[in-house]
Copies of this chain bind each other. A is one copy, B any other.
């Protein structure tokens, strides 16, 4: 750790001037696709973060092509107006909030699957295509795109935040599954990174630089992604445990044995209770692992038998199979709704969600300390984890109008991140930095690395118009 941890209770808002000439230029170019209607602006000025007080952008431009994006950025650059790319608005850390004003650049109409190359296991899509849409488009070819952050996010947004989710333990994250990009830079230039080859040593890895840059270095206008053959056999299982620790220790043993588990999710008893209420399920209200195995029928059976034996050793009970697609869908839908189940368990609340990821040997103590802190503070929470990766989320359910609750949640979040960093982990496994984790990034990366990030930002966006005030902003 290199600097004191800090996260803003509420982000600072400093709108830049938005000259009427800039709006006129956008309206001349985009006509009705440049909107200043309050409802449209408000819809583009909020995300799933707990920040509710930031004014919306001054205008929303709906792009339908790379040329639209390039022209919007060029107009914005001319007038030094911020540009905030927008997919479906499912980000969690304030990524989309117009803290310096400017325009929201809505990419949701760029939702074409441009090409699928089944023999190469690749697809090329526009950024507004969502993960479910892509999966629908390739299902008949026996293929799928594994990255699954829960929300039906846009693939451009998922690349921009380096998303992952439940399948990452087997298939990696967006970092690993984006082969190539088309990007509009801060000057309105269009560049391509990467190729359709599976690997390359050709120069600096610009693909990986734009993946995870959260709209601050360029606007992604096309992605080439890796696809995978649908596994011949898929099987899901749930198992209850006497404690969170027993569930985590089971996970550690699975990973250390090299079992190629496809999903390994933890829910604590509280969260199972909320999920039962929300999804009308009758799951045992104890800490639970929800797992999935992919492969040939015999390898799936072998993996599952090994895992069941490991779970038994750690006191696992009620190991149950879900082999039909309907049963599996029911379970994973419930898991995906855990966030909303948690939020609905306290009417009117907002969730402040943590996202630490630690080396797996440190997972148990990090999770247990986080739970103990939340219990001691008396703040309602939910706990889910992509525990195969060492990634877990506490969601603190606060009254957004109660500064004391917000402060408590942030205090717990600080303590949690501090422990994660001291354990050799990261403040964010998959949600990104946005506004909310800028102080944490500074503590994690250190001043020297942050200076390099800022030098890159300054080199690529010298006027600071691309999603300014986020990630690496001073």
Contacts and interface: CB of A to CB of B under 8 A. Distances in A.
Interface of A: 117-122, 161-164, 168, 172-173, 175-176, 185, 189-193, 195-206, 208-209, 211-213, 217, 228-229, 231, 252, 255-258, 260, 295-296, 298-299, 302, 355, 357-361, 389-391, 420-421, 424-433, 437, 440-441, 444-446, 448-453, 455-460, 471-472
A472 B190 CA distance: 19
Contacts of A428: 200-202
A175 B208 contact: yes
A117 B424 CA distance: 12
B460 A429 contact: no
Contact of A459 (B119, B217, B448, B455): B455
A205 B162 contact: yes
Determine which residue in A198, A211, A229, A252 has the highest number of CB atoms from chain B within 10 A of its CB, and name it. Answer: A198
25 contacts: A120-B361, A121-B256, A162-B205, A163-B201, A175-B205, A185-B452, A190-B448, A191-B451, A191-B452, A192-B445, A192-B448, A195-B425, A195-B426, A197-B429, A198-B357, A199-B429, A200-B426, A202-B433, A203-B433, A204-B209, A204-B212, A206-B453, A209-B456, A296-B302, A456-B459
Contacts of A451: 189, 191
Given A192-B446, A196-B424, A256-B229, A472 B302 contact: no
Q: Which 7 A-B pairs have the closest CB atoms?
A: A208-B208, A191-B448, A229-B258, A196-B424, A200-B426, A459-B459, A119-B361
Contacts of A190: 448
Nearest to A455: B459
Given A199-B430, A203-B212, A209-B209, 11 more contacts: A120-B361, A122-B359, A190-B448, A191-B449, A195-B421, A197-B426, A201-B430, A202-B428, A203-B441, A206-B449, A298-B302
Contacts of A302: 296, 298-299
Given A185-B452, A255-B121, A201 B212 contact: yes
Contact of A445 (B203, B257, B425): B203
A364 to B, nearest CB: 11
- Interface core residue of A173, A200, A256, A429 (most chain B CB under 10 Å): A200
A426 B192 contact: no
B117 A359 contact: yes
Contacts of A192: 445-446, 448-449
Given A202-B433, A453-B204, A444 B197 contact: no
Nearest to A260: B260
Contacts of A389: 197-199
A197 B385 CA distance: 14
B424 A204 contact: no
Contacts of A164: 199
Contact of A229 (B161, B257, B358): B257
